[in-house]
Amino acid sequence: MRETNAPILTVENLSIAFGETEAVRGLGFEVPRGGTLAIVGESGSGKSVTSMAAMGLLKFTGGRVTSGAIRLHGKDGETAITGALEAELRRLRGNRISMTFQEPMTSLDPVFTIGSQIGEALKLHRGLRGRAARDEAARFLELLRLPNAPAQLDRYPHQLSGGMRQRVMIAMAVSCRPDLLIANEPTTALDVTIPAQILQIIRDMQEEFGTSVIFISHDMGVVSEMADEVVVMRNGEMVEKGCAEDVILRPRADYTRALMAAVPKIGAMQGSESPRKFDLPGQAAEESGDHPAPERAEPLVRLDKVTTRYEITSGFLGRVSHRVHAAEDVSFEIHPGETLALAGKSGSGKSTVGKTLQQLVRPVSGHILYRGTDILSLDPAERQRFKREIQYIFQDPYGSLNPRKTVKQSLTEPMATYGPLKTPTRRWSSGSATASR
């Protein structure tokens, strides 16, 4: 554990509420100067809400600080984040405090190119303009291993994969060399070859600029490598805190021990002929044995030499200048009850294969057979019927949920379109469904 002096950030007795609902209660911790504090816990425990409060962004999400204080310390004394005017917070954000958000599309503006968005931060906080700002933006993208970085500056967020957008967002956050970087799940959307590089860049920045880091993550392996101190949260309250070695190797709280035990370990199922259920935090382990493997019957879905390409247009007339070979000659089978994993680095074509199977994009060649029927050979009306049989969970929830619709409306719309509900107004709950007639 590295030696530190006075903390860069102090959180004292912090409580946060959304309306009448308390999201965080009595939270307190310090972020060591030049060190890393990791905040861990299950989804909904209050990790991200705490980071939004530290950035002074709660009011934009409908939340408010009901008690406590957040103070940022620096050479010129301390600055109170809670209660600060918006003008003061704007000078701090991106300059002294920066944050990488969990969902890239919520922090990248869809109507501006990548280069203009990174350049805006460089112009505002570092005074760089024109070619100097563009070259600096390209340098950060190259540090984050984004392929063909100079060309990516002219692309829009929707033209990049989820992993590429995540790296762009990290580049924006670190481009102004902040005193404190809040990294909210910075490696979630990245393939297995990139996180180590991202973490090394954060370490190098800490060594060179003395940057402090709040690291929010579910990945305990990453936390064990990066953190000096760890705060464990559950249901808006702090369960345990201490140095990383003590919390990870010698946890005191039952919840922390359960959280550590729930982390899947590669090779843990070696020797088993079929999958086993995972132990969940706070729940007793089931005594049932292995989950039986499905019988190898006729395949449910079969892809035969499927090729999908994207046309890139340019110029005033929008002529096709080149084509991106996203997926080439992909073939595999999925049997009933079986799980097939598509693995590969960011941009390798995994999402394209899924979208092709869901008929969101049309391949240029190949066959997709569902229960022996070639979907691509059917007319549009018949193909529409098959979309109900194949469902897709997108990588970025914000990109697939309509922000103008409530959760109920989003859930009942496909039910009304494809079957179970006769109208979208039917009410439903987790246990039953009743029609509002």
Domain ranges across the chain = 9-261, 301-397, 401-434
pLDDT at res. 175: 84
Mean pLDDT over all residues of the chain? 82
pLDDT at res. 419: 67
Q: How confident is the model at residue 24 (pLDDT cuts 50, 70, 90)?
A: very high
Nearest Cα neighbor of 172 from 112, 88, 226 is: 112
pTM (global) more than 0.75: no
Decide if pLDDT at 36 tops 90.
Answer: yes
| pLDDT (mean) for 161-167 | 78
pLDDT at res. 434: 41
CA–CA dist 67, 43 (Å, integer): 23
What is the Cβ-side half-sphere exposure of residue 27, based on CA atoms within 13 angstroms? 31
| pLDDT (mean) for 377-385 | 82
Decide if pLDDT at 393 tops 70.
Answer: yes
CA–CA dist 106, 395 (Å, integer): 13
Out of 97-101, 378-382, 430-434, give the one with best mean pLDDT.
Answer: 97-101
Out of 230-234, 260-264, 360-364, 404-408, give the one with best mean pLDDT.
Answer: 230-234
pLDDT tens digits, residue range 258-308?
888 776 677 777 777 666 666 655 555 454 455 566 667 788 899 999 999
pLDDT at res. 112: 92
pLDDT tens digits, residue range 325-343?
888 999 999 988 888 888 8
Domain covering 9-261 in this structure, CATH number = 3.40.50.300
Decide if pLDDT at 46 tops 70.
Answer: yes
Collapsing DSSP states into helix, strand and coil, what is residue 32?
coil
Domain covering 301-397 in this structure, CATH number = 3.40.50.300
CB burial readout 196-216, b (16+ within 10 A) else e:
eebbebbeebbeeeebbbbbb
Decide if pLDDT at 37 tops 90.
Answer: yes
pLDDT at res. 194: 67
Among the residue ranges 37-46, 130-139, 180-189, 241-250, the one predicted with the least confidence is 180-189
| pLDDT (mean) for 347-371 | 88
Q: Between vectors from CA 409 to CA 46 and to CA 160, what angle results, nearest 5°?
A: 65
User: Where do the DSSP E strands lie in 237-390?
Assistant: 237-243, 301-314, 319-334, 365-370, 373-374
Q: How confident is the model at residue 347 (pLDDT cuts 50, 70, 90)?
A: confident
Which uninterrupted H or E stretch holds 27? strand 21-31
Who's near 393: CB < 8 A, 6+ residues apart? none
Decide if pLDDT at 163 tops 80.
Answer: no
| pLDDT (mean) for 57-73 | 92
Decide if pLDDT at 387 tops 90.
Answer: no
Q: How would you write 56-89 as a 3-class SS string?
A: CCHHHCCCEEEEEEEEEEECCEEEECCCCCHHHH
Among the residue ranges 12-26, 78-92, 290-304, the one predicted with the least confidence is 290-304
pLDDT tens digits, residue range 102-156?
777 677 888 999 999 999 889 888 888 889 999 999 988 887 778 888 889 999 9
Decide if pLDDT at 203 tops 80.
Answer: yes
Decide if pLDDT at 430 tops 50.
Answer: no
CA–CA dist 221, 293 (Å, integer): 29
Nearest Cα neighbor of 339 from 303, 370, 293, 371 is: 293
Decide if pLDDT at 176 tops 90.
Answer: no
